[in-house]
Amino acid sequence: MSSQIEHELAPQYEPGSIEPEIYARWLAAGAFDAHAGRSSRIGGDRPPFTIVIPPPNVTAVLHMGHGLDETVQDVIIRWRRMAGDEALWVPGTDHAGIATQNVIEKQLAVEGKTRFDVGRAAFISRTEEFVRLTGGSILEQLHAIGASCDWSRTAYTLSPELSSAVREAFVRLYEKGLIYRGHRVIHWCSRCLTSLSDEEAEHEETTGTLYHVRYPLLNADGTVDAAEGVTVATTRPETMLGDVAVAVHPEDDRYRHLVGRNVLLPIANLPIPVIADAYTDPAFGTGVVKITPAHDPNDFEVGMRHGLPMPVIMTGPGEMRDEPDATPRRVPTDLTGIDRFEARERIVASLGAQGLLARRETHLHAVRHCYRCDTVVEPRLSDQWFVRTAPLAAPALDGVRRGDIRILPERHHAVYINWMENIRDWNISRQLWWGHRIPVWYCDRCGGEPLVSREDVSACPTCAGPVRQDEDVLDTWFSSWLWPMSTLGWPDTDSEDIRAFYPTDVLVSGPDILFFWIARMIMAGYEFMGRRPFHTVYLHGIARDPSGRKMSKSLGNGIDPLDVVRLFGADALRYTVIAGMGMGVDVRLDPDDLEKSFTPGRNFATKLWNIGRFLLGSVGREPVAPLATIDSSRLTRADAWILDRLKVAFAECDAALGAARPPGGEESAWPADERFAGLRLNEYTETARRFVWNELADWYVESTKSRLTPDAEDREVARSVLVHVFDAALRLLHPVVPFITESLWQRLPVSGHSPDAVLATQRWPVRHGDHAVRAREFAVVQEAVMAIRQLRADYALPPGRAVEV
């Protein structure tokens, strides 16, 4: 008897020795390989189901954010794979323009150099080398958490293929008039030395100072009118060197008489006019605004309306300086070359000394910062490339509004709509070196229109003279917005993959890149493919520490998923985050107490392992008879009950997961009742847990023990039911805890498995006969048992002692 319960399974789940082996087995079995030919879109017999990974930065190191994001995707893709879809999960990385360039620049800084010291070509090859050596290691790390990506399709935004997609997109938009060169005020990072898009310049509440500065009135002869003047309020006094006017509201009686006269711009000592413009709010401050067209987007508009000059008085790195050909000169010698913040102090001091500083007050306002280096962004007039977004936004807006694309959880739907309705043109040029060079060439000899080309241009087609390529590179997001198409072969719309797998299905991400990436992918999908890129956007929560702070490298409160895998296994990590995360809700984990944080997953993994250990030991190695061959009259009440519970569990799991795609077919929108339903992964997981633990283990296994002894009468029936139910349970749980389920499933005593069969590609459980009636009989037994247990506990009877009932 004891030999029967002997087994080779360790008493505790040992992930370290099991998981790598299982992962290798999946790879060897080709379990994650998607085959275009099997897609029903091109004649196959399986509905395709595709997820593209949000490509991590190529230099990234795995953190909990990835752990969470990738686990969600893996659960979904494994579910669909088992449901019989041709499931494809496309992996890849993003070259991450600014982020990666910053990494290399930091390396150079250690050597006391800047990128300008080494030069563009050397800088790029150095970066490429760095990426070659370290890039993609994050994808390797994903193996450890069980990610079932099709690695043969690994993509990279800077690969030759995706680079040509980027050029194609640029040229097409240019030819349609949707990309243009714009001269306007953009956000400028004086540390990264590049322009930024609106999204990349993040607002940050800051307590600053509002300075009230007096600009004396000038008489017609240029002398100062001692009696009068105007006072302007500014938070950035240093920009006054670029002032070309002061504006008052046209209907403001206080200042009406001053319009047309000049005031004296202090420090620069220049006369500037008083103009009337409705932009001015008479109620704010003094009702007088200084106009600095080159360093403020609103002032730029005013400047355009009034035909004012637009002097730039600050350099790229943020030092005060006139442009070389500037007339008149505005930056005094003693301020030239001085950093903008230092200049601010000096100007304020000087104004104070001259009695021109009327007042200073603390002022709470939102200052934009560079999203990559947190430097205060400077509005700056420059020439940049822009995407005209309004025409792209229209279909993207309509698509989401009508349910062509649903956004989960529901509350993000409105956020998307609001953003898309107020979208502004997208600055796509960056003054960086790492990225896709803008495919535009200029001929300085004949100076004609810029040449925008898919192919490199080596000579001017008009005058055969030399050409030079635009120095700038494209915003990193200009390549990632094509990701669902470019990874499948676009612009070749005849490619097998794009026909088989586009549109993709679910896009999983954190809400932080809804605008950066998701909204733009939607625009690109409709623009370039004429169809949605996916039908579902699933936005999950983010990882926070116990005090609610977002986990981040800089705060040092992050968790390395690989530590968790090492300690408790990938399944414990996966179970914990999936079970503990309501849709769109942040998950709290304690980096200082991993054991506590991952207890739910660890406990569940161990429990499942032990159920398997007991079950495999008791049923033995002899293959069981398939349940279908057992006459239903031989089933006990307990058998009927567990089969009924299994059926209910399937139904509840299916309901929680919902429809995998819009039910109306390829081009259909989501019907209202399914619009915001489905993908409730935590409910699915909880249902599966309850079934396996509270029903299968606590009741069925316990009540079946006596039937499993070697000489028990209906041992064969019990073995069949047990193996059948456990097999189904392993399938049900596999998407969440793939390693343990695979490991146990491999050992099930069933005949007919091919030697290389893996659970990962088995079918999601199918429904069975109706056992509800007899199941109710067992429920009566349960009631009785629970009543007895309660009595035992109440009277403190030891479990060993028999009780007469």
Residues 77-116 that bind RNA (CB under 7 A): none
Q: What are phi and psi of 359, to 5 degrees?
A: -170, 155
Cα separations in angstroms, 632 against 635, 719, 771, 777: 5, 14, 9, 15
614 binds RNA (CB under 7 A): yes
Q: Element (H or E) spanning 121, and its range?
A: helix 120-134
Least spacing, CB of residue 167 vs RNA, in Å: 28
702 binds RNA (CB under 7 A): yes
Closest CB to RNA among 92 and 580? 580
421 binds RNA (CB under 7 A): no
Report strand pairing: 536-539 vs 506-509.
parallel
Closest CB to RNA among 167 and 368? 368
275 binds RNA (CB under 7 A): no
228 binds RNA (CB under 7 A): no
Least spacing, CB of residue 357 vs RNA, in Å: 15
What are the percentages of helix, strand and coil residues in the chain, rounded to 5? 45, 20, 40
698 binds RNA (CB under 7 A): yes
Least spacing, CB of residue 344 vs RNA, in Å: 13
The rounded distance, in Å, linking the Cα atoms of 500 and 44 is 9
Report strand pairing: 245-248 vs 288-291.
antiparallel
Closest CB to RNA among 3 and 458? 3
Question: Which residue in 107, 219, 462, 790 binds RNA (CB under 7 A)?
Answer: 790
548 binds RNA (CB under 7 A): yes
Least spacing, CB of residue 492 vs RNA, in Å: 35
Q: Which of residues 278-297 bind RNA (CB under 7 A)?
A: 279-290, 296-297
Question: Which residue in 559, 640, 657, 701 binds RNA (CB under 7 A)?
Answer: 701
Q: Tokens 């954190």 sit at which residue?
A: 510
Least spacing, CB of residue 159 vs RNA, in Å: 29
Q: Which of residues 294-313 bind RNA (CB under 7 A)?
A: 296-298
Q: Which residues contact 169 (CB under 8 A, 6 or more apart)?
A: 478, 482, 491, 524, 528
Tell whether omega for the bond before 409 is within 30 degrees of 0, i.e. cis: yes
Closest Cα partner for 348 from 235, 226, 190, 264?
235
Closest CB to RNA among 520 and 680? 680
Closest CB to RNA among 419 and 442? 419
Q: Which of residues 629-668 bind RNA (CB under 7 A)?
A: none
Q: Which of residues 727-746 bind RNA (CB under 7 A)?
A: none
792 binds RNA (CB under 7 A): yes
469 binds RNA (CB under 7 A): no
Cα separations in angstroms, 789 against 305, 456, 470, 799: 86, 82, 81, 9
Determine the angle formed by the axes of helices 681-689 and 715-733, rounding to 10 degrees: 160
Closest CB to RNA among 686 and 777? 686
- Residue window 343-372: x/- pattern of binding to RNA, with contact defined by CB under 7 A: ----------------------xx------
The rounded distance, in Å, linking the Cα atoms of 115 and 122 is 9
Closest CB to RNA among 56 and 287? 287
Q: Which residues contact 206 (CB under 8 A, 6 or more apart)?
A: 364, 365, 366, 367
Least spacing, CB of residue 393 vs RNA, in Å: 14
Least spacing, CB of residue 614 vs RNA, in Å: 3
Question: Which residue in 57, 134, 137, 235 binds RNA (CB under 7 A)?
Answer: 235
Closest Cα partner for 93 from 144, 155, 149?
155
Question: Which residue in 611, 717, 721, 736 binds RNA (CB under 7 A)?
Answer: 611
Angle at 98 between CA 137 and CA 301, to 5 degrees: 155
| Stretch of residues binding RNA (CB under 7 A), selected from 157-165, 166-174, 345-353, 680-688 | 680-688
Q: What token pair was written down for 413?
A: 């739907």
| Stretch of residues binding RNA (CB under 7 A), selected from 175-183, 274-282, 619-627, 638-646 | 274-282
3-state secondary structure of 338: coil
Closest CB to RNA among 489 and 511? 511
Q: Element (H or E) spanning 270, and its range?
A: strand 270-276
620 binds RNA (CB under 7 A): no
272 binds RNA (CB under 7 A): no
586 binds RNA (CB under 7 A): yes
| Stretch of residues binding RNA (CB under 7 A), selected from 24-32, 84-92, 432-440, 593-601 | 593-601
Least spacing, CB of residue 286 vs RNA, in Å: 7
Q: Which of residues 177-206 bind RNA (CB under 7 A)?
A: 198-199, 202-203, 205
Q: Which residues pair with 204 in a beta bridge?
A: 367
Question: Which residue in 270, 451, 677, 781 binds RNA (CB under 7 A)?
Answer: 677
683 binds RNA (CB under 7 A): yes
The rounded distance, in Å, linking the Cα atoms of 731 and 203 is 47
The rounded distance, in Å, linking the Cα atoms of 82 and 319 is 61
Least spacing, CB of residue 9 vs RNA, in Å: 9
The rounded distance, in Å, linking the Cα atoms of 49 and 764 is 15
Closest CB to RNA among 289 and 440? 289
Least spacing, CB of residue 729 vs RNA, in Å: 12
Q: What token pair was written down for 248?
A: 């008052």
- Residue window 487-526: x/- pattern of binding to RNA, with contact defined by CB under 7 A: ------------------------xx--x-----------
Whether the Cβ atoms of residue 54 and residue 736 lie closer than 8 Å to each other: no
The rounded distance, in Å, linking the Cα atoms of 669 and 405 is 7
Whether the Cβ atoms of residue 78 and residue 72 lie closer than 8 Å to each other: no
Least spacing, CB of residue 476 vs RNA, in Å: 17
Question: Which residue in 63, 143, 167, 236 binds RNA (CB under 7 A)?
Answer: 236
Whether the Cβ atoms of residue 192 and residue 96 lie closer than 8 Å to each other: no
The rounded distance, in Å, linking the Cα atoms of 75 and 634 is 37
Least spacing, CB of residue 586 vs RNA, in Å: 6
Q: Which of residues 380-419 bind RNA (CB under 7 A)?
A: 411, 414-415, 418-419
Closest Cα partner for 538 from 51, 200, 62?
51
Q: Which residues pair with 39 in a beta bridge?
A: 46
DSSP 205-252: EEEEEEEEEEEEEE-TTS-EEEEEEEEEEES-GGGGGG--EEEE-TT-
Length of the chain: 805
| Stretch of residues binding RNA (CB under 7 A), selected from 4-12, 352-360, 384-392, 761-769 | 4-12
591 binds RNA (CB under 7 A): no
Closest CB to RNA among 219 and 418? 418
599 binds RNA (CB under 7 A): yes
The rounded distance, in Å, linking the Cα atoms of 114 and 137 is 27
Least spacing, CB of residue 590 vs RNA, in Å: 9
Q: Which of residues 10-49 bind RNA (CB under 7 A)?
A: 11-12
Closest CB to RNA among 180 and 284? 284
Least spacing, CB of residue 273 vs RNA, in Å: 17
Q: Which of residues 434-463 bind RNA (CB under 7 A)?
A: none
3-state secondary structure of 309: coil
Residues in contact with RNA, counted by CB under 7 A, come to a total of 85
Q: What are phi and psi of 370, to 5 degrees?
A: -65, 130
Q: Which residues contact 284 (CB under 8 A, 6 or more apart)?
A: 233
Q: What token pair was written down for 744?
A: 């146990």
